Structure 1
């Protein structure tokens, strides 16, 4: 389970932002991962999956190469019928970020839906003049487009049936974007959102998709200590009016103790 909040504005006011991202990665604590870093060869920022056989996969990241800043995020779609996937989903974000293709070109060239387990893939491109976002899912196969100023939220269901925590989280995210006094205040409030442990039940869609875990999965911050699973990484991305990028990651230090996690903070900066 993961959650993603997005704000875009192609014409931000003075001191405003073209892009604000707040996202949680929920994963098994034992699954190894590399914390976010900036690769100088590709100008790609993000963490990496280090699970044996799946090394290099990305759940979220961005590239900073003219003419655009590209952002990508991958979320699974829970509760879907298992299929014999022939391709892993891990490379989807990285391949988009390193490619010279636009988001529509890349998404249009993906293999058929049966090649992958169910997923939501969000691709966004920001330039000094424009902002274009695309949500692509293979369950069912569909692509949605978003242009101009947007406030969006995605989780582990289809966009037409969001979990309650996604809807309520989006509302809180919108208030934060509108009320934050400065960058420090904005980042602090976004972290509070990502650490929000309030349960958002009842949630018929979550109960339908994950009946055994709905009680634990109904909050933005997920904690399932007995299962060794939960929210282990917070990611915040800010792109200001001049296309300066700040990537802030709070991630649990491995080996992870779910009852008393130690957090590592990484701050990376770049410019288009």
Structure 2
């Protein structure tokens, strides 16, 4: 994922609401949201490295990941970060213990990881080797630290706070192609034309862009998860799942 907004309400019937976009090169093969062969993990799948960017399990575990954007700090041959999502979903270790076993994650290129084990929601920023516990409310992360005030991060947070009960409205927010003005663009080390293109919630370039938008409602008893797929910026299918927690 490259843009994730989430509402954390641990004392309600729906502790976690997530609205997210996955951005990737079009040439990288991936499978859409589906139950994995074990029947326990519901997630999309990276067919190149075998991991995932976001998923949930039948017993209510959740994981999602964004990459940290800094082309000056890339480790050639680093392990796939998507394996971190798949590893958490496939296991039974609590979020805190999973992160303790992972840190300081120096072998990986930079990432942000969001984990929910059914009790505790934690974020992890590999660049700072920092674990976060979130206040009740709306938070977001893109390709910098959690809650960094990039224009699309702030816009999606504000929209989710208002439209939390309306999936169609959340998908409309995720499909916003608006480019931020130059004076509000971050400086992440990529050329200006890339900063402009990447500032939109829905990214569309000739070779790279938003591949999927997802809305997840993770309740105490039921889970609802819908994914809208894109092909070069054009909607290309929808998959929706609802199930009772084990």
Relative to the length of structure 2, the TM-score reads 0.90
Q: Does 1:237 align with 2:237?
A: no
CA deviations 1:87-108 (Å, max 9, x no partner) are: 2212100100111100000011
Asked if the contact 1:162/1:205 (under 8 Å) is kept, the reply is no
- C-alpha distance in 2, partners of 1:89/1:98? 15
- The equivalent position to 2:124 in structure 1, one of 136, 145, 152, is 136
CA displacement 1:187-214 (0-9 Å, x = unmatched): 1001101101122224556234433311
Shifted more, 208-217 versus 151-160: the winner is 208-217
**Does the CA contact (< 8 Å) of 2:185 and 2:199 recur in 1?**
no
For the residues of structure 2 that align with 1:35 and 1:119, how far apart are their CA atoms? 22
Matching residue of 1:183: none
Partner residue of 2:24?
A: 27
Alignment coverage as a number of residue pairs: 243
Question: 1:9 & 1:133 partners in 2: Cα distance?
Answer: 10
Partner of 1:50: 47
* Matched ranges for 1:96-175 at <5 A: 96-110=88-102, 112-126=104-118, 131-146=119-134, 149-159=136-146, 161-175=148-162
Aligned CA distance change for structure 1 residues 48 and 164 (closer, same or farther; 3 Å): same
Question: Aligned match of 2:87 in 95, 100, 122?
Answer: 95
Q: Please tell me whether the aligned partners of residues 103 and 129 of structure 2 are also in contact (alpha carbons under 8 angstroms).
A: no
What are the Cα deviations for residues 24-57 of structure 1, in whole angstroms up to 9, with x where unaligned? 0001111111111123635111000012xx1x21
> Are 2:168 and 1:188 aligned?
yes
Structure 1 residues 167 and 262: alpha-carbon distance in aligned structure 2, compared to 1, 3 A threshold: closer
Go from structure 1 to structure 2 and tell me whether the alpha carbon gap of 1:113 and 1:125 turns closer, same or farther (over 3 Å shift): closer
In the aligned structure 2, how far is the partner of 1:92 from the partner of 1:86?
A: 13
- Unpaired runs of at least 5, structure 1: 181-185
Structure 1 length-normalised TM? 0.82
Distance 1:87 1:111 in 2: 14
Q: Tell me the distance in 1 between the aligned counterparts of 2:35 and 2:163.
A: 27
Q: Does 1:64 align with 2:58?
A: yes
The answer to whether the Cα contact below 8 Å between 1:7 and 1:20 also exists between their aligned partners in 2 is: yes
Decide which moves more: 1-10 or 100-109. Answer: 1-10
Please give the root-mean-square deviation of Cα atoms over the aligned residues, in Å: 2.1
Q: Retained in 2: the 8 A contact 1:34–1:47?
A: yes
Q: SS of the residue aligned with 2:200? A: coil
Q: Taking structure 1 as reference, are residues 40 and 18 closer, same or farther at Cα in structure 2, changes over 3 Å only?
A: farther
Distance 2:10 2:159 in 1: 22
Which 5+ residue runs of structure 2 have no aligned equivalent?
none
1:77 aligns with 2:68: yes
Q: Distance in 1 between matches of 2:173 and 2:184?
A: 23
| Cα distance in 2 for residues equivalent to 1:208 and 1:94 | 28
